Amino acid sequence: MPHNNIKNDTDVLIIDDEVFLGETLKDLLEDEGYRVALAIDGESGLRFLKENSCSVAVIDIILPDISGLNILKTIKDSRIDCLPIMLTAYATLETSINALNEGAYAYIIKPYKVEDVKTTIRNAVDKQRLSRENRALLKDLQEINKNLSQANARLTELDKLKSQFLATVTHEIKTPLTSIIGYTNLLLQQKNQMLTQAQMDILLRIRRNSQTLEDLLDQVLDLSRIESGKVQIHLETFNIKDVIQEAIYIIEPIVMQKRVAVKTVIPDQILPMQADRGKVKQILLNLLTNAVKFTEILHAEIIIQVAQTSDKITLSVKDQGIGIASEDQKAIFEPFCRADSAVSKKYRGTGLGLSIVREFVNLHGGTVCVESELGKGSKFSFTLPLRQDNLKPPVHQ
């Protein structure tokens, strides 16, 4: 049988019982550089297809044992990866056209024109090559996708562990720190001249630095809690005016020190809002602290403005401070990120305030943004829904 000495990887298999025609077609295609096999009946042709990899099968419609259409059906049913082309005489043309509906790629009419056959075979081999390449690519992509998903799950897990670790370490440092502050306060309260003024000054410094450290630990703790998804929203209905007053009261010492004026622009008719009151206050405090901290000129103004629609409330904090370069405006919301300017670096800070603002705003399903110009000032605004009916937990990536 001609097909016995054929290599495994074949471009074209010809199944034709007219041996002379089959051999001629084989020679023609081999001259074109294809690897060609020839089978002279349906059964050996089908066996070949099942046992070898073959791109295209040219199948005569009329064969002595199995009809070309049955071979076509077997190719389809057994999912043999090969493009069938029907070889047909004028008498069986209609059958061949029907075969197209059954999955045949094309038909070649006998006697055929050499150029037509070459074109049809070239197109079929190319199509088959492309579709195999596509399938291989798709498989690679699926594999890559699977690996990425696994890596992503691992990263999420590691991120969670990191947050838990951070929370534990922070908590462990806070405990002795609280007692340092407590004992320092105790010593400072002893007004019985046991301590010299110099010693008192040292104690005051210890207390100030410990408190700064405590603030920092609180912020890290907040952030790690948020990242590990442990922060929850406690909804209350309240008037934003009260929260603004409380925040202004808290920042009064630094406001007086900097000699800035804090003004409010609040509409007379203000609807109560539903949100986590404590978190809204902290958002406002972080923005106000920044506004005061990054203002250099004396007697500058800081304006807190409220605007409300039927379903949203927007609060903005506008200052006349050092401003933020446009290239830094996105990054400053990332944890530990501070604007890259010498003026900004003069002021102490860890770069956590705004990331907490962003996370708290996100928890409420709100948005936060900044408008700023270097040397002129900044305006931070956040918008929250007035009510939290559809609140969904935020997605942490």
Give the span between the Cα atoms of 238 and 271, in whole angstroms. 9
CB of 290 to Mg ion, least distance (A): 4
Residues from 341 through 360 that contact ligand ATP (CB under 6 A)? 344, 349-355
CB of 295 to Mg ion, least distance (A): 13
Strand-pairing partners, residue 314, are 307, 383
219 binds, among Mg ion, ligand ATP, none (CB under 5 to 8 A by kind): ligand ATP
Cα dihedral sign, 207-211-213-217: positive
Site string for ligand ATP, 160-199 (x = CB under 6 A): ----------------------------------------
Give the span between the Cα atoms of 234 and 345, in whole angstroms. 35
Site string for ligand ATP, 273-302 (x = CB under 6 A): -------------x---xx--x--------
280 binds, among ligand ATP, Mg ion, none (CB under 5 to 8 A by kind): none
Stretch that binds ligand ATP, among 112-120, 245-253, 337-345, 383-391 (CB under 6 A): 337-345
227 binds, among ligand ATP, Mg ion, none (CB under 5 to 8 A by kind): none
| Among the listed residues 186, 184, 189, 190, the one whose alpha carbon sits nearest the alpha carbon of residue 204 | 184
**CB within 8 Å of 239: residues ≥ 6 apart:** 270, 272, 273
Could you say which of 22, 323, 353, 377 contacts Mg ion (CB under 5 A)? 353
Please state the φ and ψ torsions of residue 264, each to the nearest 5 degrees: -125, 145
CB of 359 to Mg ion, least distance (A): 14
Two tokens, residue 129: 């090559």
Q: Is residue 82 within 8 Å of residue 13, measured between CB atoms? A: yes
92 binds, among ligand ATP, Mg ion, none (CB under 5 to 8 A by kind): none
Q: Is 365 in the site for ligand ATP (CB under 6 A)?
A: no
Q: Is residue 384 within 8 Å of residue 243, measured between CB atoms? A: no
Site string for ligand ATP, 212-251 (x = CB under 6 A): -------x--------------------------------
Closest CB to ligand ATP among residues 84, 323? 323
Closest CB to ligand ATP among residues 74, 341? 341
Q: Is 92 in the site for Mg ion (CB under 5 A)?
A: no
Give the span between the Cα atoms of 109 and 96, in whole angstroms. 9
Q: Is 322 in the site for ligand ATP (CB under 6 A)?
A: yes
- Packed helices 93-101 and 68-77: angle between N→C axes, nearest 10 degrees: 10
Two tokens, residue 266: 């609040």
Q: Is 366 in the site for ligand ATP (CB under 6 A)?
A: no
Residue 337's alpha-carbon distances to 91, 129, 288, 346, 356, in angstroms, are 80, 52, 18, 14, 12
Give the span between the Cα atoms of 235 and 390, in whole angstroms. 13
339 binds, among Mg ion, ligand ATP, none (CB under 5 to 8 A by kind): ligand ATP
**CB within 8 Å of 303: residues ≥ 6 apart:** 262, 263, 264, 265, 316, 317, 318
**CB within 8 Å of 255: residues ≥ 6 apart:** 248, 261, 262, 292, 302
| Among the listed residues 344, 266, 359, 341, the one whose alpha carbon sits nearest the alpha carbon of residue 305 | 266
Closest CB to ligand ATP among residues 67, 305? 305
Q: What stretches of 65-152 adopt beta strand conformation (E)?
A: 83-89, 106-110
Q: Is 378 in the site for ligand ATP (CB under 6 A)?
A: yes
Site string for Mg ion, 245-284 (x = CB under 5 A): ----------------------------------------
Q: Is 320 in the site for ligand ATP (CB under 6 A)?
A: no
Could you say which of 38, 231, 332, 361 contacts ligand ATP (CB under 6 A)? 332
CB of 212 to ligand ATP, least distance (A): 9
| Among the listed residues 353, 357, 362, the one whose alpha carbon sits nearest the alpha carbon of residue 397 | 362
Q: Is 290 in the site for Mg ion (CB under 5 A)?
A: yes
CB of 354 to ligand ATP, least distance (A): 3
The site for Mg ion (CB under 5 A) is made up of: 290, 353
The site for ligand ATP (CB under 6 A) is made up of: 219, 286, 290-291, 294, 319, 321-324, 332, 338-339, 344, 349-355, 378
